[in-house]
C-alpha cells in the first residue's frame, strides 16, 4: 500500500505488461459515491497529474509517480528557487487547463518532485472545472507562508488579488510579474 487516505486507499500494482502503476480505490466507508469526477479531472490535468490509465466507478488506475514531496526539499537553499518556479508553473498549468484543485492551501502531500525532475500534483478528489481557478494563488501562499515562512510582500499580495479576477490574457502577464517578484524575493532571502 502506498497510502490510506480519508476516502480511498492507494496501492502500487503490477500490470500484465509488467509495468507498475498506482491504483486508487474508494473505501467502502467513504462518504463519496464514486471516483468518476476525479477520473475525468485526472485525465484532463495530465501532465501535471499522473497519466490516467483507466478508471471505473470506484477506482482510478494511473501512472505510478516516484519522487519526493517538494516540502522535503524546499528548505534546501541552493535548490529552492528553480523548484519553487516549477511548483508555481505547475499551479499555473492547472489554471490554464481550468482545473481548480481546491486543496493546495495545504499542499504538503499533494506536490511531488519526480526522480526525473518534474513536478506532479496528486489528488483531484475535491477538484472542479472552473473559469477562475486559484491553484497559483494557493500554491504561492502555501510556499511562502507555511513552508518558507517568508511573509509575502505587498506587491505579491496585490498581484495575486488581481490574478484571481483577471481574464486569460491578463493572467498570463500577472504570472510573469509574479515570477520576477518571486525571483527577487528569494534572492533577498538567500
**Residues in contact with ligand ATP by the rule CB under 6 A:** 2-3, 5-8, 10, 22, 24, 50, 62-65, 109, 122-123, 125
At a CB cut-off of 8 Å and minimum separation 6, what does 57 contact? Answer: 26, 34, 35, 36
Q: 103: which 3 cell numbers? A: 486543496
According to DSSP, the β-strands at 99-100 and 59-63 are: unpaired
- Residue closer to ligand ATP, measured from CB, 57 or 151: 57
**What residue 109 binds from ligand ATP, Mg ion, none (CB within 5 to 8 A, per partner kind)?**
ligand ATP
**What residue 129 binds from ligand ATP, Mg ion, none (CB within 5 to 8 A, per partner kind)?**
none
Total residues contacting Mg ion (rule CB under 5 A)?
Answer: 3
Where do runs of H (alpha helix) occur along 20-167?
A: 36-45, 77-96, 135-141, 154-165
At a CB cut-off of 8 Å and minimum separation 6, what does 141 contact? Answer: 105, 152, 160
- Residue closer to ligand ATP, measured from CB, 117 or 155: 117
Query: What is d(CA 84, CA 141) in angstroms, rounded to the nearest whole number?
Result: 12
2-10, 34-42, 110-118, 143-151 -> range binding Mg ion (CB under 5 A):
2-10
* Residue 38 within binding range of Mg ion, rule CB under 5 A: no
**Residue of closest CB approach to ligand ATP:** 5
CB of 4 to Mg ion, least distance (A): 11
* Residue 125 within binding range of Mg ion, rule CB under 5 A: yes
- Residue closer to ligand ATP, measured from CB, 6 or 151: 6
**Residue selected from 123, 135, 143, 174 as contacting Mg ion according to rule CB under 5 A:** 123
Query: What is d(CA 187, CA 189) in angstroms, rounded to the nearest whole number?
Result: 5
The angle at the Cα of 49, spanning 88 to 144, to the nearest 5 degrees, equals 25
- Which residues of this chain interact with Mg ion, rule CB under 5 A? 5, 123, 125
Amino acid at each position: 500500500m502506498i497510502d490510506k487516505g480519508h476516502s480511498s486507499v492507494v496501492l502500487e500494482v503490477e500490470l500484465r505488461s509488467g509495468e507498475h502503476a498506482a491504483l486508487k480505490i474508494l473505501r467502502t466507508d467513504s462518504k463519496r459515491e464514486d471516483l468518476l469526477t476525479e477520473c475525468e479531472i485526472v485525465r484532463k490535468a495530465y501532465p501535471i497529474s499522473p497519466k490516467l490509465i483507466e478508471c471505473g466507478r470506484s477506482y482510478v488506475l494511473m501512472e505510478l509517480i516516484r519522487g519526493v514531496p517538494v516540502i522535503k526539499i524546499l528548505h534546501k537553499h541552493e535548490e529552492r528557487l528553480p523548484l519553487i518556479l516549477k511548483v508555481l508553473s505547475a499551479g499555473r498549468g492547472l489554471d490554464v487547463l481550468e482545473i481548480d484543485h481546491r486543496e493546495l492551501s495545504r499542499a504538503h502531500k499533494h506536490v511531488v518532485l519526480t526522480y526525473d525532475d518534474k513536478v506532479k500534483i496528486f489528488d483531484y478528489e475535491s477538484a472542479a472545472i472552473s473559469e477562475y481557478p486559484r491553484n497559483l494563488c494557493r500554491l504561492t501562499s502555501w510556499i511562502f507562508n507555511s513552508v518558507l515562512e517568508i511573509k509575502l510582500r505587498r506587491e505579491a499580495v496585490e498581484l495575486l488579488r488581481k490574478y484571481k479576477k483577471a481574464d486569460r490574457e491578463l493572467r498570463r502577464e500577472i504570472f510573469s510579474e509574479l515570477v520576477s517578484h518571486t525571483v527577487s524575493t528569494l534572492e533577498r532571502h538567500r
